[in-house]
Structure 1
Amino acid sequence: MSQTMVTEQNQGLKVKVKNITIGSILEGVVISKKKGELFVDLSPFGTGRLYGIFFKECEDLAKKVNVGDKVGVKVVGLNDGYGNLEIVLQDTFQINRWQKILEYQRNKTVLELEIKEANRGGWIIELEGIQGFIPVSQLSPEYYPRVSNNDKEAILEHLKKFVGQKIKCVVWLADPQKNKLVLSEKLTKAEIYQKVLESLQVGQILDVKVVGISSFGVFVRFHTNPDMDGLIHIMEIPPELANDLQKNFPLGKILKAKIIQIKQDRVNFSLKDLRPDPWLMVKEFYREGSQVQGLVKEKNNIFGVAEISVGEYGSIQGYVFEGVEKLEVNKSYNFLIETLNPKEKHLVLKPIDA
C-alpha cells in the first residue's frame, strides 16, 4: 500500500505521515506498560498497542523503555479490536538514520560513497549504515557498462573495476517501510546534461564516436566532459551498413550523424539523411526584411502557406496573412520576410507583387 511520507527534524526525532497505513513509522510516548503489553500515545493518530506475538518480537526493546519515554514504532495493524493501532517497537537509532536519508533525498544532497560490491544489476553502497543500491540504469555514460550483446559476465567485470572507489550520487528512492534505498549517479549531472541538450537542435549534424554495438543499433558519444551518449537505431542506418554492424562500426570510429529526436535525456541520430535541417541553415540565406520568391502551397480565407528554397538544404514553409485573397495556389510570388525564427521554425511572409 502506497503512502506519502513527510519528514521533519525539529526537536529530537519526528517522523510524520499522512494517511496511516500498515508499515507507517511514527513516534510516540509510552503511556502504559504491563506484562506482555505496552501502550503508546501516537497523537494525533490515536493509541498504539504492542502485544502478543509482536511483543515477543521486540521484547528486548520493550524491557528497556518506561512510561514517559519517547519511542519509535511501526504500524502492523490498523485495529486491535479495541480501536488501537497494532504496533511493534522500532530502534530509534534506525529511524534517525532513515530520517537523515530522507533529508538527503529532499535536499538533493550530492553524496560521495564507496562502492562496496558489484553485481550484474549495479553497485552496492552503504549510507548511514543502511545498505543501498545504484542500478545500472542510474549510471552515466562515464560508468555505464556499454558491452557487446549485453553480455552479463562482461557487465559484471566492468562494474567490478570500480569496487572500492568513491562515487558521487544522490538518493533517488528511499522507503523506510520496505527498507529500500536506491541511489543515482546519473542524476548528479542532470543540470549539466540539460544545458547541453538545450544547445542542440533536431536536424543538427554532429561528429560522434562509436562507443557500443547492440542488436538494435549503434551507441555513439556526442559530447565529452561530461560524457553523453545517443543511439543510431538500426532503422536509421543505410541497409548496406546495417547488415554487419560489428564490421562497419568499430569502436572509436568517428561518424557524422543527424539528430532526429531529443526526448528528456535521450538523443537519437540518423545516418540516412545527412543534410542539415534547412531551418538550421536558413539564416545563411535570408534575414528578416529579405526579399524571396516563394511558391504558394495552400490557402484559405484567413491565411496562406508558401514555400521558399534554402539552397541545397531543401525548403521551408511559412505563413502569409496579408493579401491572401490575391494569391493563387501553385503560383510563385515575391515575398518580404517579416518574421524569421529558425529555432521555433516560424516564418511569416508578406506578398510584394500580388
Structure 2
Amino acid sequence: MAEETMNDFKDEIDRSFRKIKEGDILEGTVIDVKDTEVVLDLKYYTQGIIRAEDLSDDPKFSIHRDIHVGDEISATVVSTDDGYGNILLSKKEANQIVAWDKLKELMNSGEYVDVKISEAVKSGCVAFLEGIRGFIPASKLDLNYVEESDLDSFVGKTLKIKVITADEENRKLVLSGREFLKEQADAKRAEMISNVEVGLVTEGVVESLQNYGAFVNLGNGMTGLVHISQICNQRIAHPSSVLKVGQKVKVKVTAIKDGKLSLSMKALEEIAATEITEEKIEFESDGEATTSLGDLLKKAGF
C-alpha cells in the first residue's frame, strides 16, 4: 500500500515539473472566476490564467454565468509566463482545435444537436455550436423558406439541427434545422396514412401534372398519385388534356404502399359514389366507404 502511495506521489511530482510549451493543450480545474479572468489548477507548479476575452467567441457568453468553480476546461498555452509566473492560456484557441474535430464527427454521423439562435443576419440566422459560429440559411430554418422579414422571430429559439458543412480550413460551419422537421413531418404523415384504408373515396386538389399522372393534395400534408391510366376511361396523351392545377377532384384510394397513396378517378366512373360530407361515413351498396379525409383523421385523433 505504501509503495502505491509513493508511486502516486511520484506521478504528481513528475506531472508538476513536466515540460510545457506554447501551443500545448492543457486540462485544468477552475478554482477561481473573476470579472476579467479565470484561474485554473493545472496540477503544475504554477497556475493557469485565461483572460475573459480568450474564453469564448460567443457574443452572448457571460464569464460568471457560463464558467463555474469545479469546471474542467481545456485550453491552449499562449505563453508559459504571463509576467506574474502563471501560464497564460486561451480556451478559444483550444476550442478551435477540439471543436472542429467534434463538428466533423457530427457532420459524418448526422446526429441531431440543440442550438440556440443568437442573431438574425442577411439570408439566415447565426447559432454557436462547440463555441464556433455557425450559419443556418433561411431555407434550412424550417420546412419552407423563411422570408427575410421573419428571421428575427427565430432569435432566442432552440432548434434541433444537423451539421451539413464543417470546413475547418475556411472556418465555414453551416447548420440545418430542416432535416429534423422533415423527419417529424414524414413520421406524422406515415401515421396518418396508416389510418387511411383502400377503398376510401375523398376529395382533393390537383397539385401538379406530370407526363405519367397527376399529384392530388388530399389535405393534412398528404398527396397521392393518380396515374395517367386512372384519370378517365378514355386514353389521353397527357393529364393536362383533362385536368388543370388547382382543380378539385374526387378520387378513390386504390393502393397504399411504402407510405405512398395510389389514387383513381376512373374507378369512380364505374361506381355510384355518393357525395362526400364532413359529417358522416356512408356506405355504398357494394360496401365502399365515402368520407372526407379530414373527418377520418379527426376521428383518429389528428
TM-score range, shorter chain: 0.3 to 0.5
With structure 1 as the length reference, what TM-score do the two structures score?
0.38
**Higher relative contact order (Cα pairs below 8 Å, separated by 6+ residues):** 2
**In proportion to residue count, which structure has more helix?**
2
With structure 2 as the length reference, what TM-score do the two structures score?
0.43
**In proportion to residue count, which structure has more strand?**
1
